[in-house]
């Protein structure tokens, strides 16, 4: 199954993220190395999208709850939706 994790960032996010950026990227890389996080990046103007491929429907929420950006107040709101892929792998 694919899961899409949507982040809405706080005001001045780019300036405020610097102290936590390395921790966030290391955390995300660990999920990528496990083969669960397959795509991640910013959405303009104020968010991010992370795509997971997993057998566990709770993985994306678990990621968000433990993400240094979320834990340090840089994400105003997040949500997870199952993504039903019709074309592609």
Q: What's the pLDDT tens digit per position in 18-71?
A: 999 999 999 999 999 999 999 999 999 999 999 999 999 999 999 999 999 999
Q: Is 89 a residue whose pLDDT tops 90?
A: no
Domains belonging to the chain, first-starting first, are: 2-83 (3.30.70.1060)
| Residue 63 structure tokens | 């990621």
| Whole-number Å distance between alpha carbons of 14 and 68 | 14
Q: Write down the pLDDT at residue 76.
A: 98
Quote the pTM value: 0.94
Are the C-beta atoms of residues 39 and 51 closer than 8 Å to each other? yes
């Amino acid at each position: 199954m694919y899961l899409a994790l949507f982040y809405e960032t706080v005001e001045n996010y780019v300036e405020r993220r610097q102290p936590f950026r390395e921790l966030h990227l290391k955390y995300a890389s660990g999920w990528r190395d496990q083969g669960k996080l397959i795509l991640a990046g910013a959405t303009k103007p104020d968010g991010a999208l992370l795509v997971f491929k997993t057998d566990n429907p709770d993985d994306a929420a678990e990621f968000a709850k433990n993400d240094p950006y979320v834990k340090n107040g840089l994400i105003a709101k997040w949500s997870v939706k199952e993504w039903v892929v019709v074309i592609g792998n």
